[in-house]
Structure 1
Amino acid sequence: MSKFIQGTIILLAAGLVTRVLGFINRIVIARFIGAEGVGLYMMAFPTFILVVTITQFGLPVAIAKNVAEAEARGDTAKTKKILIVSLAITLILSLIFTPALLLLAPFLSEKLLTDPRTLLPLLAIAPVVPIIAVSSVIRGYFQGKQNMKPAAYSQLLEQVVRITLIAALTKAFLPYGIEYAAAGAMLAAVAGELVSLVYLLTSFKLKKKFRVRKHFFKYVHEGKSTFKQLMNVALPTTGSRMIGSIAWFFEPIVVAHSLAIAGVATVVATQGYGALTGFAMPLLMLPSFITIALSTSLVPAISEAKSKNNLRLIEYRIQQALRFSFITGGLAVVVIYVLSDQLMLAMYGSTTGTEFIKLMAPFFLFYYFQSPLQAALQAMDLARAAMINSLIGAVVKTAVIFLLASQPSFGITGVAIGILVGFVLVTLLHFATILKAISFTFHMREYIKIFVIMLATGYGGHWIMNNLFNSLSLITSILLVASILSITYAGLVLILGIVRKNDLIAIPWIGKALSKFAFK
């Protein structure tokens, strides 16, 4: 089995379990603190992502790419130098920006977010910055070696710890106020990240073939060429992520001010933003664990192929990633759209946010494409182009949000439309950049087939839901309809030959079982 397929499968399995556990976390939060509490949590969260992005400095992708190339040459000394220089950079940055977040938190909460209750959630996330800074370096190292197990297991541990603590902390802090409960949810996340880091460090200590502490400062001092190589990838990558993080940081600020212009009260704006970003968006983003797994495995796989100048393999890997993204994303869109009311009721006890799901679900196919395309650009040394694409998307998204959300006729729906415009535009720009960089064949017939399958299963699911299962219990109807849709969708995908024999034969326990069937 190829390392690309093997690593993707490991990350897929871990990602699925992690997302399920993450949904349990969100359900617990929503049940305990409601849309308003989730709104406070989500208004503070973009600040956390921005600080983490600055601290990581784009190094995880740079580490994975450079370690993969060093491993292909068998250069262990280079791998050690990459790791040491990366750790030095992230530790220094975390020591600068953690105190900065603590000092700026009052200003952010009162002046920019216009809701003083976001102060405690902002303060609660500060301790996690150095933890994630170090763990991201270790993850990048393992990904560069195309060993996805430590990263996968660490994610599972993080979610288990978080889900264990989140109910206790939110319940304990709720009597003091909704902002204290939101801060408790943040503290549970900090504890999860800490346990994840301990596991990664333990795995690294057991598997590494060199001593990191030996000649540490010597490697840092002599690591100028390594620093330059890392920065060639890290700077454009962090620029791209920084643009996304800054746009996300300003998003709740722009939303708060534009909704105020539209005459929406602060509490109502916080509730609406919580329904969109805390209820609807996580459900729509659930399938992204598949595209994230593909993207994580894609960077070292394409980097290795590029180091060998194997352009055909680069195109083949991108084709695989896009095809899998469309197949899985298409099924997710159908299931989420058909069962939107039932899923929201089952998870949150309310249909709040359902209108956003039905508006946004069809366009989320573009979102599922975005991660693999961006990973491919980064691995092909086109991170600068990806950064420019992200900048254009971020500017357009923010402008659309302000223009629409400030109109009383749109309100929070304008925010949803702005988010859609942003990621659709970035995905199209990424794909255009790929087409300019390499010879790429777009198999239009395959995508048309998938789209037809989506329409057929979606229409069938809607009819079944309205005519056969409307009298069943909520959970029973969800399970039955989701199962019927999934089986029908998968069957049509196989019958029409959209999944190729080479895709399956790379996975022994599946390829062996299906080798008797004639796949295209």
Structure 2
Amino acid sequence: MTKQTFIKGAMILLAAGVINRILGFVPRIALPRVIGAEGVGLYQLCYPFLGVLLTLITGGIPVAVAKWVAEAESQGDSNKVRQIFRTAMGLTITLALLMTGTMLVSAKWITTRVLTDPRVYEAFLVMTPMLLIIGISSVYRGYFQGRQNMIPTAQSQVVETILRIAAQLTLAALLLPMGLQWAAAGAMMGTVLGEVAALAVMLVHARKDRRDYRPADPQDGPGADLATGDLLNLGTTAVLKVNLPAPGVKSSGSVPLKPVEAKHRGRRAPLLRRLLRLSMPITGSRLVGSLSYLVESILTVRSLATAGIAIGAATAQYGALQGMILPLILLPTALTYSLSVSLIPSLSSAAARGDRAAIHKRLHQSLRLSLVCGAPFVVIMGLLAEPLVRLLYNHAEIAPLLALLAPAGIFIYLQGPLQATLQALDKPGIALMNTMVGAAVKLFLIVELTSRPELGIYGAVIAITVNYILVTLLHGISVLRISGYRMKLPDFIKVGAAMIIMGAACRWIMSHHPLTLEWIGLLVACATSALIYILLMAIMGIIDRHDLQRIPGIGRWF
């Protein structure tokens, strides 16, 4: 298996993330045209509840597995790596099956009493298989990330996105004649098929990794491998592992536990306790975010109804915010996600060695890249909101939502690496407290502002903006205090100056271009102003030739 350096691993995930985000805008653009903003709202209303259950199942397990595997790899302990994988897989599958059963039994009650629109029932039922599918994929993802191999994660993301797009649009259009709720269910079915494809990619890489990582043992049966044996041997009971008998040997239905396996099973209880200890604070932090998202979706629609907006219109406004505006704002998080994923094993290894200089270096790299890459998106979305949403969604009336939320993008892009740093330095509890404070403030502001008729949906935008700013500042203060790292203020000033110059150029081009087609003018303005921004970054020394050399594929040209 090929390991990657921190920057190379981040760039691999970034390339996949950029491809996914670009492709992901195909359904974002096409789906509202097929099922409308209200149909998108029904589709989006399911996700907060799914997010809560997925957080309970997988919240901190991938991060804990990645961190723990990275530590075991640095010590050369391959047996510990296998034990970590088996324990995590057993816990995840058990939780996923329990949650799936609960979800199916209580689906009618949840969609009529908890969620705000009973038409989400069909989509809610369709999405239940994703709990088990995503749960298994997340353990494999954590394992590969811990071994600093980002290729399986990147490839699975791309395959999932391509299949999901094709299936979403096709199934939504086919089921639309049956009603809007069935069209939303068809879009959800496409998402499920995409996750199945992602898991298949992970399984292929796991089988390949097993051949490279663990030499064949003549005493092991065909099932005793990391790719398939660990799915059979979930770390719960010995008889779950069924080895095929040798030719000519009569099978007894189960194989007695071997001495080595018995020893490993005896270790699984402390392994499970440590896995829970590592993952529970991270799960708690993400659970706060997931529950906040769920409560936010409920409170937003109900507060809009309090402001005098009908349920159908409120669902449409919520769908526009969550399904159209936020995906645009979160587009650069393809970078921050890749940085965060690569940052955790890298910082964990540095912390295990006591290498404070390496911690500061990696943290500075991730924050600088997040800031430099996210800043131009903030400028373009803030200044060109109306032509963007008109050309992408054919809904120019939602442009003020994008313009109002765009400045918070800087804080969103910095938040990911900061939170990953707290997790890598064994301080997930602090990240949890920061997230809880931000969530409480956001929900309070949603109720107070969104229910006002003069604000409406803009009250929710203000609340979300305050949440992003507050949590990022709290994370930043915590990281500075724990690691001793000090941000370089001149870099922020230089980026801010470049944003101002870029914005002025962008507005001038849009207002003076002689082109009659708006999309061509928008493309020219974005490309020209982005080039000016990059040149300014190079002149001021924020990026240099060495940064470009690290980009896979094109780095050799620099």
Q: Give the TM-score, by structure 2 length.
A: 0.89
- 1:164 paired residue number: 166
Match of 2:468 among 418, 423, 439: 423
CA distance in 1, matches of 2:162, 2:555: 33
State which of 302, 306, 315 in structure 2 corresponds to 1:261.
306
Conserved in 2, the CA contact under 8 Å of 1:113 and 1:256? no
Measured in 2, the distance between the counterparts of 1:260 and 1:511 equals 53
Structure 1 residues 405-414 or 348-357, which shifts more?
A: 348-357
DSSP-derived class of the 2:106 partner? helix
Among 447, 453, 457, the alignment partner of 2:492 is 447
CA contact (8 A) 1:59 1:137 kept: yes
1:88-237 matches, cutoff 5 A:
88-208=90-210, 209-210=213-214, 211-212=225-226, 213=229, 217=238, 218=261, 219-237=264-282
Where 2:541 maps in the other structure, the secondary structure is coil
Q: SS in structure 1 opposite 2:396? A: coil
Listed as ranges, the matches of 1:39-438 within 5 Å are 39-208=41-210, 209-210=213-214, 211-212=225-226, 213=229, 217=238, 218=261, 219-438=264-483
Larger deviation, residues 48-57 vs 485-494? 48-57
The letter of the residue matching 2:161 is: Q
Question: Is the Cα–Cα contact under 8 Å of residues 12 and 552 in structure 2 kept in the other structure?
Answer: no
| Separation in structure 2 between the aligned mates of residue 146 and residue 49 of structure 1, nearest angstrom | 26
In the superposition, relative to structure 1, how do residues 255 and 221 fare at CA in structure 2: closer, same or farther (>3 Å)? Answer: farther
Gaps of 5+ in 2: 215-224, 239-260
Letter in 1 for 2:539: I
User: Offset at 1:505?
Assistant: 5.5
Counterparts of 2:375 and 2:86, CA distance in 1: 42
Counterpart Cα distance in 2 of 1:407 and 1:240: 30
CA shift, 1:347, in A, is 1.6
Does the 8 A contact of 1:43 with 1:118 survive in 2?
yes
Shift of 1:245: 0.3
TM-superposition CA deviations, 1:469-519 (whole Å, max 9, x none): 5x43133122211110111110100011012565455558766654xxxxx
Checking the alignment, whether the CA contact within 8 Å between 2:97 and 2:132 is kept in structure 1 is yes
CA contact (8 A) 1:32 1:171 kept: yes
Q: 1:475 to 1:418 in 2, by over 3 A?
A: same
Question: How many positions carry a matched residue from both structures?
Answer: 513
Name the CA shift for 1:112/1:411 in 2 (closer, same or farther; >3 Å): same
**Matched residue, 1:517:** none
Residue 229 of structure 1 deviates from its aligned partner by: 2.6
Kindly provide the amino acid, as one letter, of the partner of residue 134 in structure 1: I
| Aligned equivalent of 1:4 | 6
**Residue segments in structure 1 that go unaligned for 5+ positions in a row:** 515-520
Distance in 2, Cα, partners of 1:126 & 1:508: 37
Deviation at 1:341, TM superposition (A): 1.8
Deviation per CA, 1:289-325, whole angstroms, max 9, x where unpaired? Answer: 0110110100011011111110111011111111111
Distance 2:198 2:557 in 1: 36
Give the root-mean-square deviation of aligned CA atoms.
Answer: 1.7
SS of alignment partner, residue 459 of structure 2: helix
User: For residue 533 of structure 2, what is the aligned residue in structure 1?
Assistant: 489
Equivalent-residue separation in structure 1 for 2:523 and 2:294 (angstroms): 37
Compute the displacement of 1:402 (Å).
0.7
Q: CA deviation at 1:221?
A: 4.8
Indicate the structure (1 or 2) with the bigger Cα radius of gyration.
2
Give, in angstroms, the shift of residue 231 of structure 1.
2.0
SS in 2 for 1:409: coil
| Deviation digits for residues 437-490 of structure 1 (CA, Å, limit 9, x no counterpart) | 011122111100100110111121011101115x43133122211110111110
**1:242 positional shift:** 0.4
Q: Deviations over 1:112-150 (max 9, x none)?
A: 222111111111110111000000000000100110001
Amino acid at match of 2:19: V
Aligned to 1:518: none
Q: What SS does structure 2 have at the residue aligned with 1:82?
A: helix
TM-score scaled by structure 1?
Answer: 0.95
Indicate the larger mover: 344-353 or 50-59: 344-353
